[in-house]
Amino acid sequence: MKKSQRTTYRYKYKNLTLLLFGLTATFFLYRSESFHSFLLSFGSWGYLGAFIAGFLFVSSFTAATGILILLVLAEQLLPLEIAVFAGLGAVCGDALIFRFIKDDLAEEIRPLFDKFGGKHLSLLLHSKYFSWSLPLIGGLIIASPLPDEIGVSLMGISKMSTPKFLLLSFILNSLGILFVLFSSTFIKP
């Protein structure tokens, strides 16, 4: 068979499938006590542990573990140093989410978007009121201790450039982590 006659089958929803697989694997790993102990051991790794905790801080499935590791590190390291290294880790996590949402996932979801009122939603999202508010709301979510997926999605929808997003992600995540660390000093029993 000639090369031109072969048709290659491309699975249309590979990113959604990978997302579902990742969520399922995370669910089962997160319930494992040995995996939980392994994640908590990052607290003794210093700045590398802070970087990994920052990476975990951005996902809804690992945010609690990331915060726990950050709080363990706060007993040994300065909060500002933790915020910088964890902020760098958070940028890496957000960059993965941003790339996934901005490039591939948007194309997979577009048929669903078009089927359920895509034109009206598109006009609404690109109106002068929403064009500036999506990045603002997304930034507030990223800066908060809430998981970043929704905030990153809003910034991805707004067509923000990648370098601008990375800088904002670092600043906002570092501030959010610093807020969590300073808040923990007041909340401790």
Quick: pLDDT tens for 3-27. Answer: 545 555 566 666 667 667 766 776 7
Q: Which residues contact 96 (CB under 8 A, 6 or more apart)?
A: none
| 79-98: average pLDDT | 92
Please classify residue 85 by burial: count the beta carbons closer than 10 Å to its beta carbon, then call 0-12 exposed, 13-18 middle and 19+ buried.
Answer: buried
pLDDT at 68: 82
- Residues above pLDDT 70, as percent of the chain: 66
**pLDDT(114) > 80:** no
- What are residue 144's phi and psi, to 5 degrees? -80, 165
What does the alpha-carbon distance between residue 138 and residue 144 come to, in Å, rounded to a whole number? Answer: 10
Q: Which pLDDT band holds residue 87 (cuts at 50, 70, 90)?
A: very high
Residues 6+ positions from 68 with CB-CB distance below 8 Å: 40, 43
Q: What is the pLDDT of residues 128-141, one digit of tens each?
A: 666 667 778 888 88
CA distance 39 to 62: 10
Q: Which tops the pLDDT comparison, 148 or 74?
A: 74
Residues 43 and 68: their CA atoms lie apart, in Å, by 8
